[in-house]
């Protein structure tokens, strides 16, 4: 029978939960409809008349177009309790929190987490709890009943199929980093800077936005001068949840080396301190000396300085487990003898039509900088080789992203939507997209093997399918990507 489990026994809960593997959400609703028929026929039921009445009149059961969340189906129609915003665990007798989350299938068939896992809302009306083990966050993540379904956007959401149901607890080495993330987030809140929170401030545990951009999604802060801040929730990051899926659910142990060899290191230093200390141990050594030390060919190719960055962290390849889980990108910055860095930092290419239809809050650029942390490893030229100056962790400051980058992005989007003007000069095609000098932080420029165009006047150049993509007006232009301006990067560096 539905709801037939012992809520004081974790094994009973797990065995009951496992029965929905390979079911769709519609299947669960149908089970509930059968349950209600039994109730109407006068059979003895295992839930109160009041709850049965609530089931019968729930819009999720009577209309598949209801906007109720899929998580409510698991909680109410399968586990038999009313969804609530209680800060305690859902099954509080055994401290188990039920969380449903989507899995996306990439083009190559790889499974990835579809979203970050929202844990609990951040309160702006009460003092923060300094002790992590007394916090609502710990209460919610110490035992998670993780219900993962395959998300197929071409189907009605009720027809998405539940693939995996497992109990998950963050392992000790992850919990140490999560605890420090919690300290970073709560410290910012206590400083009255909740309005400056960013998911990229931390590693595994994030502070993600909740709610729309409407004024109703903003709240005055408890601390400081009570500046309104957008509603946020504690979450386990998307990158971390992909690791959970691959490593713990699919048990596809990823071939990534760990930076932290001994968990005791995290008892005394934060993850960030450990990273910086490991690299700064080699300060002032030249890249040539480092190549010799790590038995790497000194050839000055583009990968050399990234390779050295990982070697200094004790990683033989170019993938560190902790960086994969935390969405940390390693960037080697080289400063020349004139005190300037040549390179701007590039990002993946974009499709013009997709960018034209994006909103700022859901755009790739906003998501990228909101969730990505960078490890800058900084070298400076001595005329012959490059000396290691040091390393720093960096993420885009909130105001830089929400003001300067946003304005630059909107200007580029507007030009793509309203139409780009092309000018032909000496076998060169110029466009009137905003230039690097138009924004202090970002710009766009071509990111393809060769130039390619197909214009409305009939002019065509290059390999359109490989090197260009279509504009909203039907013309084709060389594929572009966003770049962070090199002079902006230089201003962010601690070592110059």
Digit-coded pLDDT (tens) for 306-354:
999 999 999 998 999 999 999 999 999 999 999 999 888 888 899 999 9
Q: Which domains does the chain have, with CATH numbers?
A: 10-249 (3.40.600.10), 265-394 (3.40.600.10), 401-487 (no CATH)
Tell me what pLDDT residue 68 has: 60
Tell me what pLDDT residue 72 has: 86
Q: Please tell me the distance from the alpha carbon of residue 309 to that of residue 304, in angstroms, as a whole number.
A: 9
Q: In this predicted structure, which of 33-47, 122-136, 296-310, 467-481 has the lowest mean pLDDT?
A: 33-47
How many CB atoms within 10 Å of residue 224? 14
Q: Given pLDDT bands bounded at 50, 70 and 90, which one contains residue 223?
A: confident
Tell me what pLDDT residue 382 has: 95
How many CB atoms within 10 Å of residue 161? 17
Tell me what pLDDT residue 67 has: 56
CA 157 to chain centre: 22
Given a cut of 90, whether residue 128 has pLDDT beyond it is yes
Q: Given pLDDT bands bounded at 50, 70 and 90, which one contains residue 216?
A: low
Given a cut of 80, whether residue 214 has pLDDT beyond it is no
Q: In this predicted structure, which of 33-47, 269-283, 393-407, 429-443 has the lowest mean pLDDT?
A: 33-47
Tell me what pLDDT residue 252 has: 67
Predicted TM-score (pTM) of this structure: 0.91
Given a cut of 60, whether residue 198 has pLDDT beyond it is yes
Q: What is the mean pLDDT of residues 30-47?
A: 87
Q: Given pLDDT bands bounded at 50, 70 and 90, which one contains residue 47?
A: confident
Q: In this predicted structure, which of 64-73, 91-100, 300-309, 472-481 has the lowest mean pLDDT?
A: 64-73
Identify the three-state secondary structure at position 78: helix
Q: Contact 97/140 with Cβ under 8 angstroms?
A: yes
The strand pairing partners of 333, in sequence order, are 378
Tell me what pLDDT residue 439 has: 98
Q: Please tell me the distance from the alpha carbon of residue 149 to that of residue 102, in angstroms, as a whole number.
A: 5
Given a cut of 90, whether residue 225 has pLDDT beyond it is no
Torsion sign (Cα): 374, 380, 385, 390: negative
More reliable by pLDDT, 223 or 75: 75
Q: What is the mean pLDDT of residues 27-54?
A: 87
Q: Given pLDDT bands bounded at 50, 70 and 90, which one contains residue 398?
A: very high
Q: In this predicted structure, which of 62-76, 96-110, 225-239, 388-402 has the lowest mean pLDDT?
A: 62-76
Tell me the per-residue pLDDT of 70-115, one tens digit each, with 9 for 90 and over.
888 999 999 998 887 777 889 999 999 999 999 999 989 999 999 9
Question: Tokens 């593997």 belong to which residue?
Answer: 21
Q: In this predicted structure, which of 285-289, 297-301, 373-377 has the lowest mean pLDDT?
A: 297-301
Mean pLDDT of the chain: 92
Long-range Cβ pairs for the range 431-437 (8 Å, 24+) = 431/477, 433/480, 434/408, 436/344, 436/483, 436/485
Tell me what pLDDT residue 320 has: 95
Given a cut of 60, whether residue 296 has pLDDT beyond it is yes
Tell me what pLDDT residue 435 has: 95
Q: What is the mean pLDDT of residues 245-251?
A: 89
Residue 264 CA: distances (Å) to CA of 205, 270, 274, 361: 20, 11, 12, 39
Tell me what pLDDT residue 427 has: 78
Tell me what pLDDT residue 66 has: 62
Q: What is the mean pLDDT of residues 50-58?
A: 87
Given a cut of 80, whether residue 489 has pLDDT beyond it is yes
Nearest Cα to 429, choosing from 448, 449, 457, 451? 451
Tell me what pLDDT residue 131 has: 97
CA 351 to chain centre: 21
């Amino acid at each position: 029978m539905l709801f037939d489990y012992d809520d004081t026994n974790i094994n009973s809960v797990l065995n009951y939960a496992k029965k929905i593997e390979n079911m769709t959400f519609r299947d669960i609703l149908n089970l509930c409809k059968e349950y209600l028929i039994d109730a109407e026929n006068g059979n003895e039921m295992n839930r109160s008349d009041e709850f049965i009445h609530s089931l019968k009149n729930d819009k999720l059961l009577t209309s598949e177009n209801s906007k109720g969340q899929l998580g409510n189906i698991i909680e109410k129609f399968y586990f038999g309790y009313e969804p609530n915003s209680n800060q305690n665990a859902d099954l509080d007798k055994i401290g188990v929190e039920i969380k449903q989350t989507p899995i996306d299938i990439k083009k190559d068939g790889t499974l990835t987490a579809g979203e970050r896992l929202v844990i609990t809302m951040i309160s702006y009306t009460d003092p923060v709890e300094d002790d992590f083990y007394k916090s609502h966050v710990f209460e919610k993540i110490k035992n998670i009943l993780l219900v993962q379904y395959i998300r197929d956007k071409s189907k009605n959401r009720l027809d998405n199929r539940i693939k995996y149901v497992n109990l998950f607890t963050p392992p000790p080495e992850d919990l140490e980093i999560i605890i420090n993330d919690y300290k970073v987030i709560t410290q910012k809140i206590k400083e009255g800077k909740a309005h400056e929170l960013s998911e990229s401030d931390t590693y595994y545990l994030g502070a993600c936005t909740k709610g729309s951009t409407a004024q109703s999604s903003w709240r005055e802060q408890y601390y400081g001068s009570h500046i309104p801040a957008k509603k946020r929730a504690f979450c386990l990051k998307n990158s971390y949840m992909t690791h959970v899926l691959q490593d713990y659910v699919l048990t596809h142990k990823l071939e990534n080396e760990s930076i932290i060899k001994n968990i005791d290191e995290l008892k005394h230093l934060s993850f960030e301190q450990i990273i910086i200390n490991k690299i700064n141990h080699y300060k002032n050594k030249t890249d040539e000396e480092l190549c010799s030390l790590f038995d790497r060919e000194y050839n000055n190719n583009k990968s050399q300085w990234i390779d050295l960055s990982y070697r200094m962290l004790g990683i033989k390849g170019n993938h560190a487990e902790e960086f994969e889980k935390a969405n940390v990108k390693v960037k080697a910055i080289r400063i020349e003898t004139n005190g300037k860095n040549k390179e701007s930092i590039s990002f993946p290419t974009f499709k013009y039509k997709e960018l034209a239809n994006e909103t700022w809050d859901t755009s790739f650029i906003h998501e990228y900088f909101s969730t990505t942390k960078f490890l800058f490893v900084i070298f400076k030229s001595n005329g012959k080789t490059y000396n290691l100056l040091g390393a720093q962790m960096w993420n885009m400051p909130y105001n830089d992203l929400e003001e300067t980058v946003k304005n630059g992005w909107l200007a580029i989007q507007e030009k793509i939507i309203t139409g780009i003007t092309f000018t032909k000069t000496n076998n060169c095609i110029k466009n009137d997209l905003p230039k690097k000098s138009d924004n202090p932080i970002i710009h766009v420029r071509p990111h393809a093997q060769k130039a390619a165009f197909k214009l409305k006047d009939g002019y065509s150049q290059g390999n359109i399918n490989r090197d260009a993509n279509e504009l909203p007006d039907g013309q084709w232009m060389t594929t572009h990507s966003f770049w962070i301006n090199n002079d902006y990067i230089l201003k962010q560096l601690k070592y110059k």
